[in-house]
Amino acid sequence: IAPRSGASAQLAAVTAAVRACERADLWHLALALLPEMLTSGRGYEPNLLSFTAGLRVCEKGRLGRHATQLLEEMKSCSLQPSTISCNAALSACASSQHWEMAVGVLGSAAWQGLEVNAITVASAIATLGSDWKRAASLL
């Protein structure tokens, strides 16, 4: 295993701290670390893993708006979200009851050619709650 450069080691450490906070249900602490991880000019660029860690924090914290902002930030860094990162964003939108954002995330995922799996559709449908007509339209 090749040693990491200082910048990539720092990104890995911050990403690991965000993930540890997320697993310990300390999403508010993880959220405080996100600017550190995502701020450019630190000698490293955030990667798919660091963004996905941030999206999972948004999922745990029921922060749909933050999740969609992170997806936009990914695009500005020329990174394409994965199915896992989109699912985390959809879950964040569902738990914060932002169905409009969830539908936008789902449409963007399909447009980008991401695999839309059962978790993706279930998360999107969950945002619609009792609005069964809209939920059926997603199928």
- The stretch 82-109 carries a mean pLDDT of 84
What is the pLDDT at residue 2? 38
Q: Which helix (H) or strand (E) holds 72?
A: helix 64-76
- Comparing 58-72, 93-107, 115-129, the range with the smallest average pLDDT is 115-129
What is the pLDDT at residue 136? 58
Tokens describing residue 92 = 């964040």
CA 112 to chain centre: 16
- The stretch 91-100 carries a mean pLDDT of 82
pLDDT band at 3 (very low <50, low <70, confident <90, very high): very low
Q: How far is residue 68's CA from residue 71's CA, in Å, rounded to a whole number?
A: 5
- The stretch 115-138 carries a mean pLDDT of 69
- Mean pLDDT for the chain overall: 78
Type of residue numbered 118: A
What is the pLDDT at residue 135? 54
Q: Is residue 118 a contact partner of residue 106, using CB atoms and an 8 Å limit?
A: no
Predicted confidence (pLDDT) per residue in 29-50, tens digit: 887 877 777 665 566 677 888 8
Q: How far is residue 13's CA from residue 28's CA, in Å, rounded to a whole number?
A: 18
